[in-house]
Copies of this chain bind each other. A is one copy, B any other.
Amino acid sequence: MVDIATRVYNHKWKIDPIVRSLIDTDFYKLLMCQSVFRNKRDTQVTFSLINRSKSIRMADLIDEGELREQLDHVRSLSLSRGESTWLRGNTFYGKRQMFRPDFMEWFENLRLPPYHLEKRDGQYELTFEGAWPEVMLWEIPALSILMELRSRAVTGDMGRFELQILYARAMTRVWEKVEQLKPLDGLKIADFGTRRRHSYLWQDWCVQAMGEGLGSKFSGTSNCHIAMKRDLEAVGTNAHELPMVYSALADGDDALARAPYDVLADWQEEHDGNLRIILPDTYGTRGFLDRAPDWLAGWTGIRIDSGDPATGAEVAIDWWTSRGEDPTKKLVIFSDGLDVDKIAALHTQFKGRVRTSFGWGTLLTNDFRGLVNNNALNPFSLVCKAIKADGKPTVKLSDNPNKAMGPSDEIKRYKRVFGVGEQVSEDVVV
């Protein structure tokens, strides 16, 4: 029997919204948002979309009207009662009431601020200006909208069976990856693939496949909406935007040199245990760790998000050892451009020397490489970054110069202040 009401209802939609919930975002965005809401609520920040893969001409692929409709739809969203209840009542990292009442009240009343959209050189210039805790929440929806509109553009002229086979092949690929991970003893792996996913439904499928195939080796998803819907752990801690904005706000070189530690001092006040994860690469991992105060060595772990991951982990292990910490008690989270072979290699290499876990992103939720003509569904490197804070430009150096950003004179100054010398370039795939 056809459910007539459902069919009529479905056909009433003017668009098929890509982001249908304000918590269809990464958990760490909300954690950081709460921290920013507490510490830097009035800072004016500009976020900007940056397509590192210039050959993908987004503005030629994606209709501007459709993009605006999707972005406008996100601006119409507010936290639902159930979502609010989940955020207020759920246990995150074993802790109840992770989100404080004042933050929740603010969040419940939030609508995302306006966006600014222009076409230039076949790309979209998409920027968000406003109070930091508000504009920062645009990052993930903006990315996932652009990624999914691109998927829709490519799949738009495919027939019903072509589509079925496309997804059959993609599912088979994900499942084969899961089967490759299954035998890795002691593996801990989470989905970090929201921002560059092929689509919402596809991410949701990948997450379920991970859960089904990996059981307790699958430790959760960064996506709050999927975590809620699928009764999984929501995972993640903090990102580069914190040190980047703190550093941009710093007055003079001394303050700049202190800024990355100020971020973590603020963080330490709010969080403990598995939420105390250092992200050391914003201005070079080695210098950051060498100059780090001793209290940081007591933190639970380090997330390695650029540079050669094995080297990064060795640096971390050496650092903990030099500070009298036992590395086997520490956690290294790998989250940069992972795929199964790299995961398996790193897991094996560091087994018994340090605890490891993996935040698997784009190559989990968007691996359609080679599945359509001209590789038109291959993942690519789209980011949305804080580029300005209270009128001053932000800078990121990273452990991979291909991931650096900021004005060149500021990059020079930051390199000097943070003592960053020669760096090894790595290709940025995603």
Interchain CA distance A212-B165 in the complex, whole Å: 12
Q: Is the CB of B175 within 8 A of A172?
A: no
Binds B, one of A1-9, A221-229, A316-324, A338-346: A1-9
For A, the interface residue count at a CB cutoff of 8 angstroms equals 21
A425 within 8 A of B: no
Write out the residue numbers on chain B whose beta carbons fall within 8 Å of the beta carbon of A6: 1, 3
The 6 closest A-B pairs by CB, nearest first: A168-B168, A3-B3, A161-B212, A165-B175, A168-B171, A1-B6
A406 within 8 A of B: no
User: Interface on chain A toward B: helix, strand, loop, or mixed SS?
Assistant: helix
Residues of A within 8 A of B (CB): 1-3, 5-6, 9, 159-161, 164-165, 167-169, 171-172, 175, 208-209, 212-213
Write out the residue numbers on chain B whose beta carbons fall within 8 Å of the beta carbon of A160: 212
Q: Is the CB of A171 within 8 A of B175?
A: no
Write out the residue numbers on chain B whose beta carbons fall within 8 Å of the beta carbon of A164: 171
Number of copies: 2
Write out the residue numbers on chain B whose beta carbons fall within 8 Å of the beta carbon of A169: 168, 172
Contact of A161 among B1, B5, B167, B175 (CB under 8 A): B175
Known: A1-B5, A3-B1, A5-B1. A208 touches B161 (CB 8 A): yes
Q: A165-B175, A169-B172 are in contact. List 15 more A-B contacts (CB 8 A).
A: A1-B5, A1-B9, A159-B212, A160-B212, A161-B175, A161-B208, A161-B209, A161-B213, A164-B171, A167-B168, A168-B168, A168-B169, A168-B171, A168-B172, A172-B172
